[in-house]
Structure formats: C-alpha cells, structure tokens
C-alpha cells in the first residue's frame, strides 16, 4: 500500500527509485556476500568451488525478497534473514556464507554500492543543469533588467549575470559531489567490533579484495560500522544543493509575480489548470514544489548529524533514521534537479516588461551613477551622496522624473552638462563588468567541463 508521495510516484525519477527499491537493496547485500566469499577463496580460506556456488546463487533469480521477509518475520533480523535464505539455496556451500562478517559489513558496504550509483546520477543531472545555466548566461549576458536589493529597485543588472552566478554555484556543487564521493562510497569487512578477528590471518587482504571487486573505497579504520560523519557530510551537501535550487526557484517565483512579470514557468495553455476555482491563474507550481521539497531536505540534516554519536563500537540508533534519510535525500535532490532543469529549459522571458519595470522609479535607479559623476568633477563623495539623495527623494515625493529634479538644481547644472546627465541616467552605460564577468565565468566553466571529460 503506497502512502508517502515517493511511494505513489509523485516524486522521484525511475532511475533513482530503482537504486533504492527493496529488490535492489537485497541485490546489493547479496553482491557484498558474493565478494566476501570470493575474497575468502582467493586467500585459501574456503574452497573455490564453494565460493563459486555462492557467487552463482547471489542474485534475485535465486534469492527471493518474499522468502527473506518470511524468515525476517520469524527471527527479526534483516541481515541474518538474507544469510539464511542464501545459505539454504547454496546447499553444502551455504556453510561458508557470511564467514567472519558482521551485519554492518554487509549493510554499510551495500549502502556504498547504492550511493555509488546514486551520486553518479546526481552528478550527471548537475552536469546537465550546468549546461542549461551556461547557455542562459551566454544568451542573456546583455539582457538588461532591474537589479533588486531588499526587494527594491537597486541598479541595472543583466539576466545573464544571474545565470552565471547560479552556474558557478552549480560548478562548486559538482566539485563537492566528486570530493564527497571519495569519502562516502566506502565499504569494510571488519567483523563484530572492527578488529577483523573473525576473518583470520588474511583479514586485511580479504577486505582489500572484496572492496576492489565491488568497486568501492576501503575505510581507513572503523569500528563495527562505517563512521557516520561520512553520511552526515553527504546529507549536508545534498541539503546545500537543494537550497541552491530553492534560491533559484524563489527568484523565478518573485519575478513571475503579476506586479513584476519578467519571467514565467512554462504553462501548457491548452490543458494545464492553475486553480480549481480561478480559471485565470497561471502559478509557478514547479518552482513552489522545489521550494517545498528543499524544506524537507534541510530537515534531514539534523538526524544525519545526530547519527554521528554512537554507544561504544556500535548501536542501532543510526539504522532506523538512515532507512529514511539516505534514500529520501538522494531521491528528492535528483527529482529537484530534474524539475529545475526543465523549468529553466522552458522558461519564458519578457524582455519588454523588464525594460518597462526599469522606468517605474522614473530614473532614480541611476542615482549612484549621478553621484559618481559629481565626484569625478571634484565634489566630496559624502556631499554628492547627500545632494543626490535629496533630489531623489524630491522626485519620489513629487512623482516627477529624476531628470527633472536634477535639471532644476543649480549645483547639478553648474557641475554637469545635459549630456553628462543623460549619460549618467542611461542604464546601458552602468552595467560595469557584468558582461565580462559572465564571459569569464562561462570560459572557466567550459574549461572545467572539458577537464571532467564533457564535450559540450
């Protein structure tokens, strides 16, 4: 019975859901058991024929999830249920299943296998998202619009600069994912308290062989469990990625407000419904969904951090929380990246509205440019600021053009000619290095992508 929206199919891509479904979780545990048996045979601990039998049997073709669950309902131990289901199919070779291992060896290494695949998917989506942002930065690098601080009109900016900022933030996330993967995709064969006593004299070699076969890194040292600072780092990172997507979505939602109307989510006019009662509504529903899911993502950080402390060499306070937070974090971030990429790929830009909005303050947005023009003529910066501030307030109160207030002031007339005032009031003259910053950011991103083996 499906209850949560991940279970019902509302959230989650098929690829990521497949990694964390029950069947695949069982298969990863079986893969670890197979690698363990093979490693034992390589060092001479068990006969090769028995290792081969175990390896041939460790698949869902032979080990059914229903049988594992049946055994678990009787003995109330998930790993031992899998071990017994595997051993009973292996016949006499079953005597060597799980030899020298503890439950966490299997569980934590199986988690490493899942995270290996999950982080690969997330990195791929980050790469795709970076491409969309890079294309947007290049396309809109000269698209002038109103920059806002504190929700108020500030100075002119370009839409491309916004895209470039998001692009470089995404580039940092890709770097973080790559670094974090080295510390998170780790497995172990340490036995009950991490001493490897049950694995015998070849314990170190068994661990090395098994992890190499599985394609995961080996822990430096561990107790009964892989230390949870690793998973905490991952959950924190995924929450940071989610917060970036939250930031971008919030910006789009704000710019889609009726009063602003500069960018819009794609809306299927023929079929899509914005409201059950207001037929005219065209809401930024996808962006709002992303913002909502970001709240859930940030909420997962606390239990991830709480999982770091443990009683002595291990307790079970981590496992119940991790059954939620690890799959949930990977599934939601992957889904959010999918949604955000789709939003930006189909985003509608109203450049005419951007230009109209810039006129709302009747030229006052260029007050800094006027102030600096005065300082270049020799006026004290503080005096110039106060003079221009008073003239801007006069324009605001009288609802008159800022240019009119400037032209009526004797000091302004004495220090600046009409041509200089017009130049200062032209927003296209006050973009600073915005275009160059975008070009440099795109150049750097392309270099990094080439280094990562990407050709686009």
pLDDT in tens, 73-86: 999 999 999 999 99
Q: Would you state the pLDDT for residue 394? A: 95
Angstrom CA distances, 4 to 11, 12, 230, 329, stand at 9, 12, 27, 14
Model confidence band, residue 2 (pLDDT cutoffs 50, 70, 90): confident
Q: Residues 204-249: pLDDT tens digits?
A: 999 999 999 999 999 999 999 999 999 999 999 999 999 999 999 9
Q: What is the mean pLDDT of residues 246-267?
A: 94
According to DSSP, the residues that pair with 152 across neighbouring strands are: 149
**What per-residue string of b and e applies to 313-349 under the rule 16 or more CB within 10 Å gives b?**
ebeeebbebbeebbbbbbbbbbbbbbbbbebbeebeb
- Give this prediction's pTM: 0.95
In this structure, the number of other CB atoms found within 10 A of the CB of residue 456 comes to 11
Enumerate the domain spans of the chain.
Answer: 1-99, 116-194+219-266+281-360, 364-424
Residue 269 has pLDDT above 80, yes or no: no
Q: What is the mean pLDDT of residues 353-374?
A: 97
Residue 274 has pLDDT above 70, yes or no: no
Contacts (Cβ under 8 Å, ≥6 apart) of 221: 194
Phi first, then psi, for residue 397 (nearest 5°) are: -65, -40
Retrieve residue 434's tokens.
Answer: 């915005």
Rounded Cα distance between 240 and 113, Å, is: 23
CATH 1.20.200.10 fits 116-194+219-266+281-360, yes or no: yes
Q: What is the mean pLDDT of residues 353-379?
A: 96
What is the number of alpha carbons within 13 Å of residue 179 lying toward its C-beta? Answer: 8
Cα 55 → chain centroid: 36
Rounded Cα distance between 78 and 322, Å, is: 15
Phi first, then psi, for residue 275 (nearest 5°) are: -155, 150
Note the helical H segments in 43-158. Answer: 48-57, 65-75, 78-90, 103-139
Q: Residues 158-206: pLDDT tens digits?
A: 999 999 999 999 999 999 999 999 999 999 999 999 999 999 999 999 9
Architecture of the domain defined by 1-99: Orthogonal Bundle (1.10)
Q: Would you state the pLDDT for residue 220? A: 95
DSSP state of 454: -
Residues serving a catalytic function are: 150, 275
Contact between residue 138 and residue 65 where contact means Cβ atoms under 8 Å apart: no
Q: Left (φ > 0), alpha (ψ -120 to 50) or beta: where does 112 sit? A: alpha
Model confidence band, residue 455 (pLDDT cutoffs 50, 70, 90): confident
Residue 275 has pLDDT above 60, yes or no: no
Q: Residues 31-59: pLDDT tens digits?
A: 999 999 999 999 999 999 999 999 999 99
Average pLDDT in the chain:
95
Contact between residue 286 and residue 342 where contact means Cβ atoms under 8 Å apart: yes
Q: Would you state the pLDDT for residue 109? A: 98
Scanning the structure block, which residue is given the tokens 């990562």? 452
Retrieve residue 260's tokens.
Answer: 């602003």
> In percent, how much of the chain has pLDDT > 90?
94
Burial of 122 (0-12, 13-18, 19+ CB in 10 A): buried
Rounded Cα distance between 194 and 424, Å, is: 70
Q: Which CATH class is domain 364-424?
A: mainly alpha
């Amino acid at each position: 019975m499906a209850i949560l929206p991940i279970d019902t199919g509302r959230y989650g891509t098929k690829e990521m859901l497949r990694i964390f479904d029950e069947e695949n979780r069982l298969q990863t545990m079986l893969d670890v058991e197979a690698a363990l048996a093979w490693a034992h045979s390589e060092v001479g601990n068990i006969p090769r024929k028995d290792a081969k039998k175990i390896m041939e049997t460790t698949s869902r073709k032979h080990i059914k999830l229903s049988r594992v669950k049946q055994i678990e309902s009787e003995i109330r131990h998930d790993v031992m249920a899998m071990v017994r289901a595997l051993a009973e199919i292996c016949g006499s070779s079953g005597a060597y299943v799980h030899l020298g291992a503890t439950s966490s060896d299997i569980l934590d290494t199986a988690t490493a296998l899942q995270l290996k695949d999950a982080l690969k998917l997330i990195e791929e989506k980050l790469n795709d998202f970076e491409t969309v942002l890079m294309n947007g930065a290049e396309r809109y690098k000269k698209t002038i619009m109103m920059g806002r601080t504190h929700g108020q009109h500030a100075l002119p900016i370009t839409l491309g600069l916004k895209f470039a900022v998001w692009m470089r933030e995404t580039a940092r996330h890709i770097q973080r994912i790559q670094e974090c993967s080295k510390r998170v995709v780790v497995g172990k064969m340490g036995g009950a308290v991490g001493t490897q006593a049950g694995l015998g004299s070849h314990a170190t070699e068994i661990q090395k062989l098994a992890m190499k076969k599985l394609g995961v890194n080996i822990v430096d040292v561990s107790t009964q469990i892989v230390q949870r600072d690793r998973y905490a780092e991952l959950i924190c990172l995924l929450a940071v990625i989610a917060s970036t997507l939250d930031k971008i979505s919030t910006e789009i939602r704000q710019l889609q407000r009726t009063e602003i109307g500069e960018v819009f989510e794609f809306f299927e006019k023929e079929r899509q419904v914005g409201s059950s009662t207001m037929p005219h509504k065209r809401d930024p529903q996808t962006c709002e969904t992303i913002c909502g899911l970001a709240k859930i993502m940030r909420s997962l950080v606390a239990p991830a951090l709480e999982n770091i402390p443990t009683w002595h060499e291990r307790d079970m306070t981590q496992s119940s929380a991790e059954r939620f937070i690890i799959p949930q974090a990977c599934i939601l971030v992957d889904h959010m990246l999918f949604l955000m990429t789709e939003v930006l790929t189909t985003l509608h830009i109203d450049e005419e509205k951007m230009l109209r909005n810039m006129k709302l303050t009747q030229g006052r947005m260029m007050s800094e440019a006027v102030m600096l023009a005065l300082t270049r003529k020799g006026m004290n910066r503080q005096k110039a600021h106060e003079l221009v501030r008073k003239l801007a307030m006069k324009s605001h109160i009288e609802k008159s053009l800022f240019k009119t207030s400037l032209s009526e002031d004797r000091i302004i007339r004495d220090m600046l000619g009409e041509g200089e005032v017009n130049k200062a009031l032209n927003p296209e003259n006050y973009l600073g290095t915005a275009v160059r910053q975008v070009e440099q950011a795109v150049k750097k991103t392309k270099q990094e992508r080439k280094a990562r083996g990407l050709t686009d």
